């Protein structure tokens, strides 16, 4: 039985919940937003070769996949969610990979997901189910997914989720501000959301699939970071187009630009449509190549997903036993 090699960034984790400095934000500065330049053809070429230029194989792949599990915001955002569904999801977050499989891989470290992400209605249920685990609860807010609720209602929703115990708030921006080029309005909106979050970390969902251009994605990312977002996130998972490598590449380069300008490290979360182990590896490679090892860790990188862990477990089973198990044998399939 081959054992998993515990390697560098792919084998380490950060204590839960998110630690490190918050993003204090800056004053609104229109200049870097106005001066954004995006070479679309170069971005698309880079994105197309992301998964072909680098590969991770054998025990190294197994180690990277175990690390990917630690970065997952395990999510349920369905209209038929129940307290039972959420409690079961929290059980999966506590033990995402079967104990026997971990033992057969020679893994002795505790493996948990990065967070559990739910609607506000189920925050209390998730907090209770995760008590003692150290896994934070993330709540989607501000009229998720469309972001078209009245502004005062959005603020109240954030405050209610924080009061119920949410340690992280995933807010959605008003796409209208981006599409009309009203960057000051976007800044003011996100800054107000940040203040309402209090001590809870804020992830700003910019809905890349609805912003029209890569330049808009870059500009929206910069404005959200100026307003104090601790993370920027690609999508709600409810748009026709969700996380893509091209859109993600633009966002992580915005993160790098913001870091070079301010010295503040902002996290990144792709979400929507990420269902396979191969995709998880693609995004980890993106983070390593564009931002470095630290941005692969859970305090600066999350993957929003619901079924991803099932495929990761199948790949780990193949590595350990030489065969794939049917998806019907995977919990929460």
Distance CA(213)–CA(199), nearest Å, equals 33
Q: Average pLDDT over the chain, rounded to whole? A: 92
The pLDDT assigned to 19 comes to 52
pLDDT tens for each residue of 30-89: 999 999 999 999 999 999 988 777 788 899 999 999 999 999 999 999 999 999 999 999
For the question of residue 269 being annotated catalytic, the response is: yes
Query: pLDDT at residue 15 above 60?
Result: no
Per-residue tokens: 17: 């919940």
Of 92, 124, 269, 297, the catalytic one is 269
Query: pLDDT at residue 8 above 60?
Result: no
State the DSSP code for 327: G
Nearby residues of 326 by Cβ (< 8 Å), 6 or more positions away: none
Distance CA(201)–CA(19), nearest Å, equals 10
The pLDDT assigned to 202 comes to 98
Of 92, 154, 203, 233, the catalytic one is 233
Angle CA 306–139–102, to nearest 5: 40
Give the pLDDT mean for 243-256. 97
The pLDDT assigned to 3 comes to 58
Query: pLDDT at residue 257 above 90?
Result: yes
DSSP state letters, 173-231: --HHHHHTT-HHHHHHHHHHHHHHHTTSEEEEE--GGGS-SHHHHHHHHHHHHHTT-SE
Query: pLDDT at residue 13 above 70?
Result: no
The pLDDT assigned to 332 comes to 56
Of 92, 124, 154, 170, the catalytic one is 170
Instruction: Pick 300 or 54 by higher pLDDT.
Output: 300
Give the pLDDT mean for 305-330. 88
The pLDDT assigned to 20 comes to 57
- CA torsion 213-219-224-225 (nearest 10°) is 130
Per-residue pLDDT band for 331 (boundaries 50, 70, 90) equals: low
Instruction: Pick 247 or 14 by higher pLDDT.
Output: 247
Distance CA(286)–CA(79), nearest Å, equals 33
pLDDT tens for each residue of 87-123: 999 999 999 999 999 999 999 999 999 999 999 999 9
The pLDDT assigned to 258 comes to 98
Domains of the chain by range and CATH?
A: 25-325 (3.20.20.70)
> Pick from 257, 253, 267, 255: which is nearest to 302 by CA?
267
Three-class SS state of 269: strand
Per-residue tokens: 321: 């036993």
The pLDDT assigned to 14 comes to 37
Which residue do the tokens 């997901």 mark? 113
pLDDT tens for each residue of 216-232: 999 999 999 999 999 99
């Amino acid at each position: 039985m081959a054992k998993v090699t515990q390697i560098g960034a792919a084998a380490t984790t950060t204590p839960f919940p998110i630690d490190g400095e918050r993003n204090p934000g800056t004053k609104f500065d229109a200049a870097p937003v106005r001066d954004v330049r995006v070479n679309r053809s170069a971005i698309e070429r880079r994105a197309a070769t992301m998964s072909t230029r680098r590969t991770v194989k054998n025990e190294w792949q197994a180690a990277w996949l175990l690390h990917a599990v630690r970065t997952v915001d395990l999510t349920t955002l369905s209209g038929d969610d129940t307290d039972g569904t959420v409690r079961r999801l929290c059980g999966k977050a506590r033990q995402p990979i079967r104990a026997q499989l971990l033992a057969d891989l020679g893994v002795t470290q505790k493996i948990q997901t990065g967070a559990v992400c739910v609607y506000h209605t189920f925050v209390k249920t998730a907090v209770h189910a995760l008590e003692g685990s150290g896994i934070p609860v993330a709540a989607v807010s501000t009229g998720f997914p469309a972001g078209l609720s009245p502004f005062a209602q959005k603020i109240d929703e954030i405050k209610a989720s924080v009061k119920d115990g949410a340690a992280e708030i995933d807010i959605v921006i008003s796409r209208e501000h981006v599409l009309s080029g009203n960057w000051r309005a976007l800044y003011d909106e996100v800054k107000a959301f940040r203040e309402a979050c209090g001590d809870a970390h804020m992830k700003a969902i910019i809905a890349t699939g609805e912003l029209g251009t890569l330049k808009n994605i870059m500009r929206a990312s910069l404005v959200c970071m100026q307003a104090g977002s601790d993370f920027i996130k690609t999508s709600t998972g409810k748009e026709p187009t969700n996380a893509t490598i091209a859109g993600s590449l633009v966002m992580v380069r915005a993160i790098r630009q913001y870091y070079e300008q301010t010295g503040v490290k902002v996290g990144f979360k792709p979400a929507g449509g990420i269902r396979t182990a191969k995709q998880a590896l693609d995004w980890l490679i993106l983070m390593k190549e564009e931002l470095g090892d630290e941005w692969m860790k859970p305090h600066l990188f999350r993957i929003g997903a619901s079924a991803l862990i099932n495929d990761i477990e199948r790949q780990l089973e193949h590595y350990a036993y030489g065969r794939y198990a049917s998806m019907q044998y995977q919990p929460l399939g």
